[in-house]
Amino acid sequence: MAVWDKKILWSFMILLTGAVGQPYTYPGNVTVNYPGPVCAVKGSTVTLHCTFTPHKSFIKDGREYPLRIIRVVWCKNHEICQGSTPSVYDSKSDTNNPRYQYLGDKKGNCTLQIRDIRREDDATFRFRMETNHSAGHYTVTSGVKVTVIDDPQMTIISSRNQSLIREGQTETLLCISSCSFHQLEVTWFRDDHALSESGPALQLGPLTAEDSGNYTCGLKTNSKTRSRLYEVRVEAAEEGESDKVSLIVGVVFGVLLALGALILGFFIFKRKQEADKDQRNVGGDVGQKSPDNLYSNILPHAEPDRLSHPQETGRDVEEISYAAVQFKHKNQARPVEEEEAVIYSSVANRG
């Protein structure tokens, strides 16, 4: 009976508001964007992503007044979260339940996180904003519906979407549910033996025959959530495939070796060509140079006894030989009149 009285009262207030009319006008629209219905596993963590656009100002009697958010509230199973309505979060309260964490602000983010979901959280949650003037208070009554279940049926899906896999390949198995189970540990089984992994994703690979078997998963806190069997069969690689791989590796190695030898021979040939060219250039330079006049006087060392008797020099017979050598440039016709290079060599022999 009390419930019907409340509904009648709210209906009367709405009709009264429509009859009297809005005393204020607003230059913009206020909005709250809730997520869709949420299914949550008991004991898990759920995040309700939410955004809002508040009234920036209101107009009364032709004058515009600015507004600013001073309070944000989340409540459940209440139409407008007004007054003394029990709330799960109130920015002005110091006694908020720590299971409900407000991740938003007073500017446009109204995200709420619910930890350790319980049966009592199976409800509709609504967000309310309040400003420095009652003209800016607002609640979007649609809210977000949260459904809490105790024993969800887990399901295994494969990244390859096939149960037959060859040795050496990799595989990822995912343990999922129709409901969110964030921050809940998952237990994996192979042939009914528990594995060490505890996350929702099981990484397998490089696969061997030992990875073959029937896999299941379930929530660690609830054995009733075990999934159906998912078979993984690891097929041995064909013998011909290993031979093909060896042949390909050998061919590639041989090609690289031949290419290296070819490059080395090319560099050796180029170095030899450059050396021959340098040698020819040196020979040409020597032939083109004009010989200098060279004078060489070679006097044999006088014997000590003859040096002591200078009067005997008359006995010595001096012989002078003149040798003229003319150098002609190769491939050049030089005139006879051209100055000849002469080398004088004087040899004095003492008898």
Q: Is residue 197 part of a domain?
A: yes
pLDDT digits (tens, 9 = 90+) for 22-67: 577 888 889 999 999 999 999 999 999 999 999 999 999 999 999 9
CATH classification of the domain holding 40 = 2.60.40.10
pLDDT at 63: 92
Last residue of a domain, one of 183, 216, 235: 235
Last residue of a domain, one of 149, 169, 191: 149
How far apart are the C-alpha atoms of 270 and 280, rounded to whole Å?
Answer: 16
> Between residues 265 and 219, which one has the greater pLDDT?
219
Rg (the chain; Cα; Å): 53
165 and 130 inside one domain = no
Q: Is residue 181 part of a domain?
A: yes
40 and 120 inside one domain = yes
pLDDT digits (tens, 9 = 90+) for 238-247: 655 555 556 6
Q: Is residue 253 part of a domain?
A: no
pLDDT at 20: 40
CB burial class (10 A; 0-12, 13-18, 19+) of residue 101? Answer: middle
Task: Give the pLDDT mean for 264-292.
Answer: 68
Q: Is residue 79 part of a domain?
A: yes
Sheet of 164-166: strand order equals 164-166, 230-235, 213-219, 186-190, 193-194
pLDDT digits (tens, 9 = 90+) for 291-316: 454 444 444 444 444 444 444 444 44
Q: Is residue 322 part of a domain?
A: no
Q: Is residue 40 part of a domain?
A: yes
103 and 124 inside one domain = yes
CB 126 within 8 A of CB 139: yes
172 and 80 inside one domain = no
175 and 104 inside one domain = no
pLDDT digits (tens, 9 = 90+) for 135-165: 999 999 999 999 999 889 899 999 877 667 8
Q: Count up the domains in the chain and report the number.
A: 2
| Domain residue limits at 65 | 31-149
168 and 204 inside one domain = yes
Maximum mean pLDDT: which of 11-20, 21-30, 83-92, 300-309:
83-92
Last residue of a domain, one of 187, 216, 235: 235
pLDDT at 218: 94
Q: Is residue 161 part of a domain?
A: yes
Q: Is residue 14 part of a domain?
A: no
